[in-house]
Amino acid sequence: MTRSEATFEATEPAPLHHAIWPTRLPQALQIPQTTIGYNLEVTARRHPGKAAYLFLGRAMSFGELQAQAQALAGWLQSQGVQRGDRVLIYLQNCPQWAVAFHAIQRADAVAVPVNPMNRADEFAHYISDAQARVAITSADLAGTVDQANQALPEAQRLRALLVTRFTDAMPPPDQIDDSERPAGPVFDWLCADPTLPPGAHRWVDALTAGLQPGTSLAGPDDLCLLPYTSGTTGLPKGCMHTHRSLMANIVGGGLWGQASTESVALGVVPMFHITGLMYNVLSPAYLGSTTVLMPRWDRELAARLIARHGVTHWTCIPTMIIDLLGSPNYRRFDLSSLRRLSGGGAAMPQAVAERLQTEFGLTFAEGYGLTETAAPTHANPPERAKLQCLGIPIFGVDSRIVDPDTLRQLPIGETGEIVTHGPMVFKGYWRHPDATRDAFVQIDGKAFFRTGDLGRMDEEGYFYITDRLKRMINASGYKVWPSEVELLLFKCPLVQEACVVATKDDYRGETVKAFVVLRDAARDNTTAQQVIDWAREHMAAYKVPRVVEFVDTLPKSGAGKVMWRLLQDQEQKSKS
């Protein structure tokens, strides 16, 4: 019997956080026994003319969103997509992202969001591992998809590629108000019209083909979402989520954040990310709220949009707030409409949180969750938030602090691994039964997910993160897994070996550093910048090493394993 298969007896602790639980909230939820697609269907009937999305000033109503999703679902099924098939979404934030997601649900298929920063070498893995049938992308990324697809054996390739242009959901460029217009280079990118790969299908043609999907057969326990997350070893793994596991946070998120049909959210967190998906796609379809979409972060535009549209809710990452307050114009920003400011991914510096309070009267309520938990398992009550704190377990969540070696429960205040049981926890890793087994442990007859994060709990039941067991770099909220970067660096013709660690960064918190052993032929004529330039061509920008240090050898154990922890510790000491 392995350690993770063992059953550990523990005395279930009293729910300390219930003593400070907001009186406005129930402590348990009745989760609807319906599908994600049903949420949009109901909202479109209730509020057909209400704006679901605002994009550069153009509104897409819930009725239009539902009609386009229905038409696209019919097209997907005409391409052979069947119940349970995987469909990739490879887009920046735009209304088409939401249409694509809801169409996939209406076709009883499984959405696979992919970071649009990924390059062809990375994207091929998502096609082959997910065994995807179709990909939906934008014209600027279609070449990347085609390059990745052609590199695969024919049996693993996509059946169809559907391509949209941002202008499909924008007002005519000359009619966009200055207050809605992104900075020049971004606006030019949005308006560009790249040539499509041979055989690609056009978005507008799919929507106007007049195809209708068959009767939906999906149920609450059907697989509907397969977001990918990396681990300590190997390539990214898909996290299996059902309609039921997503519904828990769809329902709970609105209640916790005091959101309603009247709410207006700023949608700038990427929709491919589990947080952006939850708050920019899933929650609005359930609540009937409006989302003002930004394809890329722009602090001046964000401030204008908040004021122009009366944004009430903004889920973000701390670096966005830091950047916003770094604007020379920030004292003139009108943020008076904001009622709820929340996020996670990285700790909010106390000084910045205090500035928000002092200068704008806003409390930043941090939360905590993972791709495996469909975003939050913990959150700070807005009326009783603590700084640099994960918050308390939310609806239906049982979290413990355990010894990472023995898995015994630890007392209040002691540091151990955070393990979580709750309705939003995923069903396992796609095609990785061993990793799935290792990810869970049985305590008191319940399956707890091992987060790999080290933390502690205070006397009121608030959780704090202190370190990570998993080997991961947190760069402005983007999770970078060193093993994945190393695997990509091994493809570089200049690199013999590489070990990737985190290094401190004043803005990003952490960034990526690579210790590199060069190949013999490259040792006398290679610069660090050449390795960095190669990395920029072959991996997403946030994964690219910002620092490269050449070494003659990497430290290794007696078993021949690279001692990454030694290098990580040395790096931390050098920066302290």
pLDDT per residue over 44-74, tens digit each? 999 999 999 999 999 999 999 999 999 999 9
Helix 95-106 × helix 36-46 angle, to 10°: 120
Report d(CA 57, CA 55) in Å as an integer.
5
Residue 474, pLDDT score: 87
Residue 568, pLDDT score: 92
At a CB cut-off of 8 Å and minimum separation 6, what does 463 contact?
Answer: 368, 378, 389, 390, 391, 392, 393, 399, 401, 418, 455, 456, 457
Residue 317's SS3 state is coil
DSSP string, 98-146: HHHHHHHHHTT-EEEE--TT--HHHHHHHHHHHT-SEEEEETTTHHHHH
Residue 559, pLDDT score: 61
Residue 576, pLDDT score: 75
**Which CATH superfamily groups domain 474-575?**
ANL, C-terminal domain (3.30.300.30)
> Residue ranges per domain, the chain?
36-243+268-296, 474-575
In the chain, % of residues over pLDDT 70:
96
Residues 251-307: tens digit of each pLDDT = 999 999 999 999 999 999 999 999 999 999 999 999 999 999 999 999 999 999 999
- Token code pair at residue 362: 């806003």
Would you tell me which CATH number, out of the four given (2.60.120.20, 3.40.50.980, 3.30.420.40, 3.40.50.700), belongs to the domain 36-243+268-296?
3.40.50.980
Between 549 and 15, the higher pLDDT residue? 549
Phi/psi of residue 498, nearest 5 degrees: -150, 145
Amino acid letter for position 557? S
Residue 231: pLDDT band (50, 70, 90) is low
Report d(CA 205, CA 162) in Å as an integer.
10
- Token code pair at residue 116: 């649009």
Evaluate whether 163 touches 142 at the Cβ level (below 8 Å). Answer: yes
Q: What is the mean pLDDT of residues 195-224?
A: 97
pTM over 0.85: yes
Helix 299-309 × helix 318-325 angle, to 10°: 90
Residue 154's SS3 state is helix
Cα of first residue to Cα of last residue in the chain, in angstroms, is 42
Report d(CA 40, CA 336) in Å as an integer.
30
Evaluate whether 295 touches 453 at the Cβ level (below 8 Å). Answer: no
The mean of the pLDDT values for the chain is 93
The CA angle 11-16-19, to the nearest 5 degrees, is 145
